[in-house]
Chains A and B, each alone.
Chain A
Amino acid sequence: GNSVTQMEGPVTLSEEAFLTINCTYTATGYPSLFWYVQYPGEGLQLLLKATKADDKGSNKGFEATYRKETTSFHLEKGSVQVSDSAVYFCALSQSPSGLQGAQKLVFGQGTRLTINP
């Protein structure tokens, strides 16, 4: 079945460091890919997305590129801030076919990121 594997956490970095959180997936067809972020005490929020191969999603300085050849969607940011401390989830849609099952997202286990000043 479809699955998402994320880099094991927790990840601790200093402010202004470069961030990479790895995400690889297994899926049939051509899923859409997502990164969600969860700040302490809150629900998940969509951070960025990509809907087809070679698409680059970006938001708030974060980027991720949909790599079909390596089945990856790694999250990167050039210079992290203390306010980026959160849990990050990689996810995929089951299928772009529009069937009911397509609306079900498969989430990775989450990666906790802590940025120290």
Chain B
Amino acid sequence: DAGVIQSPRHEVTEMGQEVTLRCKPISGHDYLFWYRQTMMRGLELLIYFNNNVPIDDSGMPEDRFSAKMPNASFSTLKIQPSEPRDSAVYFCASSSGLAGRSTYEQYFGPGTRLTVT
């Protein structure tokens, strides 16, 4: 089975530009999570979805960040405008919350390394 797929793997952009990160969760998983990882702040949960609906976006840093999940197999995280302090590795993860079958394990993608100059 394919794991969580993220694209691009690396993104270098200039301050002020729009950045879109993409994620395809594992087929059949109904939860999708976006994380950000930096040396200073460690691993931070930004937002998560259940059945394509955002459940908790309290980790989203500010209005420049937005996330969507138009269908069960695709999600985007957008930063507009980007700033140098947004430089980080962004991970997408998915899990299954089906009643009686959930083990609460999250499966992570390989991440997108974002550099904003």
Interface residues of A (CB under 8 A from B): 32, 34, 36, 42-46, 49, 51, 89, 93, 96, 98, 100-105, 107, 109-110
Number of A-B contacts (CB under 8 A): 59
Find out whether the CB atom of A109 lies under 8 angstroms from the CB atom of B42.
yes
CB of B47, distance to nearest CB on chain A (Å):
11
Smallest Cβ-Cβ distance to B41: which chain A residue: A109
Rounded to whole Å, the gap between the CB of B64 and the closest CB of chain A is: 23
Asked if B111 and A43 sit within 8 Å, CB to CB, the answer is yes
- Top 7 A-B residue pairs of the complex, sorted by shortest distance between their CB atoms: A43-B108, A93-B104, A44-B108, A103-B31, A103-B97, A109-B42, A43-B110
B106 and A105 form a contact (CB under 8 A): yes
CB atoms of B104 and A102 under 8 A apart: yes
Cβ B108 vs Cβ A103 within 8 A? no
Number of interface residues of B (CB under 8 A): 25
Is A100 within 8 A of B50, CB to CB?
yes
Q: Which of A42, A43, A105, A109 is B104 in contact with, Cβ under 8 Å? A: A105
- Chain B 67-101, CB-CB to A under 8 Å as 1, else 0, gives 00000000000000000000000010101010100
